[in-house]
């Protein structure tokens, strides 16, 4: 016997969910993402480490970002008609808009995923692939290592539409692109 889904979980069309449906789906849990037409719900609570790191890295990036770069957390990016992931942090080249519900790939210069147990596969493989295919120039992945946070930095190869690793940063994150940043990674979590 198949379990019945609540009516609010049924897609509005036979072809499934589309990225713009998230703006008209009030029953969906907070932080719902869409990957290839499949809704992704955050099922487990975030660890305190994840929350603290995201907050402190967001603040550090806001302090470093030049005029014209907006740092946001937990906002979706409409990659295509059927995908709208929610990176933990992003940097965009558009002005703050209090009514914004999502960004477009050509507005985003950097996406950051902070890996958690429940999202590890998506954060390490599916999302970077989708971000690269959409043309987002920079991707950072933050891992929780025994010695502290490690930031894996990638830059888009525009010919292959794939990310190329440019470094793994432990202790200090020092990069020049997409804008100059120097962050003592030890200060991001207690």
pLDDT digits (tens, 9 = 90+) for 111-170: 999 999 989 999 999 999 999 999 999 999 999 999 999 999 999 999 999 999 999 999
Give pLDDT, residue 15: 86
Q: Domain spanning 48-187 has what CATH number?
A: 3.90.1570.10
How many CA atoms are closer than 13 Å to the CA of 49, on its beta-carbon side?
A: 13
As a whole-number percent, the residues of the chain with pLDDT over 90 amount to 83
Chain CA centroid to CA 30, Å: 15
What is d(CA 132, CA 180) in angstroms, rounded to the nearest whole number?
Answer: 21
Length of the chain: 190
Give the pLDDT confidence of 76-109 residue by residue, as tens digits.
999 999 999 999 999 999 999 999 999 999 999 9
Q: What is the pLDDT of residue 36?
A: 94
Rounded Cα distance between 163 and 62, Å, is: 24
Q: Does residue 151 contact residue 140 with C-beta atoms inside 8 Å?
A: yes
Q: Is 59 exposed, middle or buried (0-12, 13-18, 19+ CB in 10 A)?
A: middle
Q: What 3-state DSSP class applies to 144? A: strand
Which pTM was predicted?
A: 0.93
- Which two tokens mark 116? 């958690």
Sign of CA dihedral 103, 71, 155, 143: negative
Q: How confident is the model at residue 9 (pLDDT cuts 50, 70, 90)?
A: confident
Sequence spans of domains, the chain? 48-187
């Amino acid at each position: 016997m198949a379990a019945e889904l609540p009516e609010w979980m049924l897609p509005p069309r036979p072809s499934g969910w589309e990225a713009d449906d998230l703006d008209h789906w009030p029953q969906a849990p907070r932080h719902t993402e869409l990957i290839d037409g499949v809704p992704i719900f955050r099922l487990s609570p975030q660890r305190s480490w994840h929350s603290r790191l995201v907050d402190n890295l967001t603040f550090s990036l806001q302090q470093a970002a030049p005029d014209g770069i907006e740092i946001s957390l937990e906002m979706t990016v409409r990659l295509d008609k059927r995908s709208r992931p929610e990176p933990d942090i992003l940097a965009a080249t558009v002005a703050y808009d209090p009514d914004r519900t999502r960004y477009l790939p050509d507005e985003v210069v950097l996406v950051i995923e902070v890996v958690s147990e429940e999202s590890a596969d998506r954060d390490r493989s599916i999302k970077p692939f989708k971000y690269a295919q959409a043309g987002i120039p920079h991707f950072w992945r933050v891992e929780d290592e025994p010695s502290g946070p490690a930031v894996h930095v990638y830059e888009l190869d525009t010919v292959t539409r794939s990310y190329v690793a440019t470094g793994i940063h432990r202790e200090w994150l020092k990069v020049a692109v997409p804008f100059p940043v120097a962050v003592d990674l030890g200060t991001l979590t207690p």
